[in-house]
Amino acid sequence: MRRAIFYLQCLLAVILLVRVLCVPLLSVRRLLVFALVPTVLAPFIMCLESFAIDYRALWLVLQVVDWVCLVGVAYSLVTGLFPKLPGVGRMFRRTFTVALTAIFLAAMIETQYLLPSSVVLLTGGAFIMNRAILTAVGLFVASILGIVFWCRVQVPKNLAVVSSGIVIQILTRGIGVVFGDTLRNAGVRFYEGASIIWITLLTYWILFLSSNDDSPGAGSLGRSSAVAAGVE
């Protein structure tokens, strides 16, 4: 069951990536590339285990790719939401960079004191780093979307749909990292649930992202759009 879900989400990610690269979805192209690359690369990296490579080393490689892409998602989202306000985007990027650096250093210090062995240091440190980076990116992306809603920033419908879905996916992953053991002990099949959410998002994006919804007039995030929708 798990293997089937894993390969299904990888297949959907490949289909969506090809579609994003072939169809002019410029407002979400960079954002989706960063979001999809870890899912697309996961089966190829894990296949190297058949060459007697330590699975922990492969997992660490995949984690590094995932962290880079998570940071790329955050920066791409800011660039996409504030194309006409470069000063605002620059301020958010600098704030995020400072916060991410502080969290990274704190995670490194925690790793150094808690994990004396070199092998355990790498693997266990990756868990600590993963939790720290997911928390930072999740809070940053959620706060950015909150500001966009509050300030009535108009964005393309594609960007509104994709950014909302990415927030859901990041928050779901964050819950899994922080409370995964507790949920498993309680009998909750969280991995399957989180994977189904990701598969649902991928399927929706494949079916409904359109180049017609790629201009700022096609949709928006904000209170003004919600009011307009209610009036209509």
* Ranges of each domain in the chain: 2-231
**What is the structure's pLDDT at 47?**
77
Which residues does 63 contact at the CB level (< 8 Å), separation at least 6? 126, 129, 130
Q: What is the mean pLDDT of the chain?
A: 80
The token pair at 24 is 């002019």
**What is the structure's pLDDT at 21?**
92
**What is the structure's pLDDT at 51?**
66
CA neighbours within 13 Å on the CB side: how many for 27?
25
For each successive 10 residues of the chain (232 residues), what is the average pLDDT? 86 94 89 94 78 73 89 89 77 84 75 55 76 84 82 84 90 82 77 90 93 66 39 34
Taking each helix axis from N to C terminus, what angle separates 157-185 and 190-208, rounded to the nearest 10 degrees? Answer: 170
CB atoms within 10 A of CB 38: 18
**What is the structure's pLDDT at 49?**
64
Residue written as token pair 């494949």? 206
**What is the structure's pLDDT at 8?**
92
Global pTM value: 0.81
Residue 134's identity, in one-letter code, is L
**What is the structure's pLDDT at 143?**
83
What would you report as the CA-atom Rg of the chain, rounded to the nearest whole angstrom? Answer: 19
